Amino acid sequence: MRFTKQTHACVRLEKEGRVLVLDPGAFTEEEAALGADAILVTHEHADHFHEGHLRAALDADPAAEIWTLRSVAEQISAAFPGRVHTVGHGDTFTAAGFEVQVHGELHAVIHPDIPRITNVGYLVDGAVFHPGDALTVPDQAVETLLLPVMAPWSKLSEVVDYVREVKPVRAYDVHDALLTDLARPIYDNMVGGLGGTDHRRLTVGESAEL
């Protein structure tokens, strides 16, 4: 499987000529979802869900499909009947040849005064886990964790403890658009030094074989 980092929380997975894109949001390049056979969206926040990016991808390829939770599906399904699928915790499905399991139900707490919305994570081919905006721990081993390294709802100690709890073989940073270059070495040292796993970071557009 080939993994390519896009801006912020968006990633692109490729296998046997098929393309799966996760969370092409407003911080992500306009073309991030183009060419995708399937798109997964974890939740409705704009940095993960951009309706224009999804519409462009589905217009460009009449066979492309989306899997997401109800709050997102309701905003786009009418325009693409039969191509937007609603999923929730515990569901399994096949998208563009990738086997996907759904884990989690709620977004992490941003502040007690802000109501929590729904959020799901996706475990792809039993190996790569994208949790969206939550520190969800799947009930099975994870080889590659796409780690939301910096967010308004988290602190660095929680990120480190999350890596320790999931115990992935490796962790790649995502959800990092708000992290400045000045802060990156601090995060690298903390997550890499204390997380207990092989911690890696790709630049936007850079790829790795998983």
Domain count, the chain: 1
**DSSP run (H or E) holding 49:** none
Range of the domain at 169: 2-209
- Residues in the chain, overall count: 210
CATH of the domain at 16: 3.60.15.10
What does the DSSP assignment read for 146-166? EEE---TT--HHHHHHHHHHH
Q: What is the pTM for the complete model shown?
A: 0.97
Tens of each residue's pLDDT in the chain, 210 residues: 999 999 999 999 999 999 999 999 999 999 999 999 999 999 999 999 999 999 999 999 999 999 999 999 999 999 999 999 999 999 999 999 999 999 999 999 999 999 999 999 999 999 999 999 999 999 999 999 999 999 999 999 999 999 999 999 999 999 999 999 999 999 999 999 999 999 999 999 999 999
User: pLDDT at position 1, please?
Assistant: 96
